[in-house]
Amino acid sequence: MSEKKPPAKKRKDKRWVTTREKILDAAIRCYQQNGAMNTSLQDIIGEAQISKPTLYRHFNNHDEVMSEAIYREFEQVVHELEAIQSRQHNISDMIIESFMFCLQEFPRRPLLKLLSQRQQLSQLSHLGLNADNLVGQATRFSQPIYELAEQQGALREGVTLKKYVEWGTRIIMSYMNLPAEEQNDAIEMRLLLKRFLVSSLIKDEF
């Protein structure tokens, strides 16, 4: 008995999603090789090995490709952070390892690195990417830890979610824009985060 094929519409939808993901994968490879601001739509078409009409069936322009690629990068980071946080045994380690991941991973992702540069960020404002938008994404990263710390009574007095997010975002952006020597030493960096970041947010007994 022959295997029953899925309906044509479902097969078409699956192909459409696969092609769209293929285009985004190609775009990110181009951004890694050439830099996000030096990549053209034709570069992406060539890397994806598709025709121009195929790309335009999925995206209206390069801005739309870049915007979706950025948000996909954010989604991947959120999932990876959730996995890292779930492996930690206390609030302090969750904070430290989350920041270590961000400091190590963001510079490797050209689109996220781009967002740390104020001049470049202003050029991307037409994509709906601005400081408020970045704070919203940072809140997604931070909220699970903050809520757990709040439930456990671990937060220092006066630490709100807004302050937690703002402080953490400033630290990450500062290190991305002005790399420091301790970033090359994971042990030293963890100690630094524990002494100056964790201690400002979390009570000593935690």
Write the burial class of residue 125 (CB in 10 Å: 0-12 exposed, 13-18 middle, 19+ buried).
exposed
Structure tokens at 19: 């092609």
40 pLDDT tier (thresholds 50, 70, 90) = very high
| Per-residue pLDDT tens digits for 145-155 | 999 999 999 99
CA max distance for the chain? 69
Structure tokens at 2: 């022959």
The CATH class, in words, for 62-201 is mainly alpha
Where are the CATH 1.10.10 domain residues in the chain?
A: 8-59
Q: How far is the C-alpha of 205 from the C-alpha of 157, rounded, in Å? A: 14
Give the closest residue to 18 by CA, choosing from 56, 62, 48, 61.
Answer: 48
- Half-sphere exposure for 40 (CA within 13 Å, toward CB): 4
| Per-residue pLDDT tens digits for 12-27 | 577 877 899 999 999 9
Stretch among 49-58, 122-131, 183-192, 196-205 having the lowest mean pLDDT: 122-131
Where are the CATH 1.10.357 domain residues in the chain?
A: 62-201
**Where does the chain show beta strands of DSSP type E?**
none
CA 70 to chain centre: 8
The CATH class, in words, for 8-59 is mainly alpha
Q: How far is the C-alpha of 111 from the C-alpha of 117, rounded, in Å? A: 10
More confident residue, 37 or 46: 46
118 pLDDT tier (thresholds 50, 70, 90) = low
Q: Answer for the pair 79, 142: CB distance below 8 angstroms, yes or no.
A: no
More confident residue, 56 or 113: 56
pLDDT at 75: 86
**Average pLDDT over the chain, rounded to whole?**
84
pLDDT at 84: 94
